[in-house]
Amino acid sequence: MIKKINSFFDNFDALATLFLRFGIGIAFIIHGYGKFPLPPEGLVDYYDLHPLIASLVAISELSSGIILIISGFIKNPIGNILTRLVGLNIVILMVCIFAVAHQDWFITKRLFTSSQIFLLIGGLFFLIKGNRT
């Protein structure tokens, strides 16, 4: 019985990765798009970022989400490397976001109950796994 259950769910491994890819991708698209028009005044004013850096953050978030979703459908080494590069970009973005915007969250309950930690973990997942199913 256990083997049948495991065998049944083994067929859905690629679907699970697709759900994660779309969830992380859409989250980054929404976060990035919310910072338009450029430069994002909220980042410039509140965090005292240079307008160019603030614009790069917005463009990077938006493009990471789009490329993460699209690269999942590219079934060759290019899709794999795009997925890994986007995963790396997401990890870098999230570490910088934690360092600049949420310095008081490190190793606290707030960090592990925020959605940002899951975006970081998703980035790590795609950095390590790439497009392998």
pLDDT tier for residue 133 given thresholds of 50, 70 and 90: low
C-beta separation of 28 from 60 below 8 A? no
pLDDT in tens, 29-47: 999 999 999 899 888 888 8
Strand runs labelled E in the chain: none
DSSP 36: P
pLDDT in tens, 41-72: 888 888 888 999 999 999 999 999 999 999 99
Q: What is residue 12's predicted lDDT score, i.e. its pLDDT? A: 83
Cβ neighbours of residue 18 closer than 8 Å, sequence gap 6 or more: 72
Cα(15)–Cα(19) distance, integer angstroms: 6
Q: What is residue 102's predicted lDDT score, i.e. its pLDDT? A: 73
Alpha carbons within 13 angstroms on the beta-carbon side of residue 57 total: 23
pLDDT in tens, 93-112: 999 888 887 777 677 777 77
Mean per-residue pLDDT, 111-129: 89
The pair of structure tokens assigned to 78 is: 């290019």
Cα(85)–Cα(9) distance, integer angstroms: 29
Mean per-residue pLDDT, 76-83: 95
Mean pLDDT of the residues in the chain = 89
Q: What is residue 6's predicted lDDT score, i.e. its pLDDT? A: 80
